[in-house]
Structure 1
């Protein structure tokens, strides 16, 4: 699970609460994906001025919003491609709940288009370089069988490289129930069969 962001980063996300509608948020997200990888000072002045007016923030703050949103969305696309239910792990723990839900729905809706955009660019999606797995077991202390596990889940620790179009690596924990593990394994099995079939052509 992603940890909380420092106060400065949290302030950047609060600016997104000023977006007047979902349609406007979708346009902002589209442009954040479009200008991925650009340093904040290289963003087009006309784009910055437009969003600065919409958000009622300074141009400097607008540049921070766009570049931070771009990194967040790219991480969300990466997680969604592996497991749609894990997209919420792209957000810090203290992220605004309604904003998290809105951005998650936008990522799901725009996933196919953004994935192509990211894959076709000179810069690639973050790369999975290692996976660690552990099983968490919890017990109900109120029962006579408190020493026996009553609930078990799988925690996958994903190590990814290329976060935010940089060489930086990041660890992301994803907790999965038994049912989610079965679904994921079934999906991975189908992907393996498709890859095998493609290589044999």
Structure 2
């Protein structure tokens, strides 16, 4: 299960009270889910604690999607008791409006990255160098085991 939200995340979320409108909060929530923290530039104008806010929104939205929370009560339960009531309700409403789209987006991005990795491996073999140090006893044991395997394969091949 995803880690619980931290107290400093909720403190950062309080800066959303300075937003110019509910639509600005809605847009920021939508963009914070899709973009990793640090990739949102134009919206950084309304607060000096923008990086903390983006990180907190990113964590909150990802936490809800990861934990599969789909009810208002479940989302409201994430917030501390002393959190601003109207902001809590607004964030919950925005999250509920977007949670299925975010879940689909998260699933699609996982599938896409797996397919891309498979495509890379199919075209060219993966080659890497590895240096291993073994004690004489370990090396002797390994060679003895390989010798047994060779003998067994020879016996099977001769049948």
Give the TM bin, normalised by the shorter chain.
Answer: 0.5 to 0.7
Q: Pick closer, same or farther for the CA change 1:112–1:16 going to 2, 3 Å.
A: same
Q: Equivalent residue for 1:31?
A: 31
Q: Equivalent residue for 2:69?
A: 80
- Tell me the CA shift for residue 9 of structure 1: 3.9
Structure scoring higher RCO (CA < 8 A, sep ≥ 6) equals 2
Q: TM-score, normalised by structure 2?
A: 0.57
> Which structure has the highest strand share of the two?
1
- Tell me the CA shift for residue 96 of structure 1: 1.2
What is the RMSD of the two structures over their aligned residues, measured on CA atoms?
2.5
Q: TM-score, normalised by structure 1?
A: 0.46
Tell me how far apart the structure 1 counterparts of residues 5 and 62 of structure 2 sit (CA, whole Å): 18
**Where in structure 1 do 4 or more consecutive aligned residues deviate above 6 Å?**
none
> What is the number of equivalent residue pairs in this alignment?
107
> Which structure has the highest helix share of the two?
2
User: Which sections of structure 1, spanning at least 5 residues, go unmatched?
Assistant: 124-201
User: Which sections of structure 2, spanning at least 5 residues, go unmatched?
Assistant: 112-159
Tell me how far apart the structure 1 counterparts of residues 80 and 5 of structure 2 sit (CA, whole Å): 5
Give CA deviations for 1:109-135 in whole Å, capped at 9, x if unaligned: 112211111222239xxxxxxxxxxxx
Tell me how far apart the structure 1 counterparts of residues 33 and 43 of structure 2 sit (CA, whole Å): 15
Q: Which has the larger radius of gyration?
A: 2
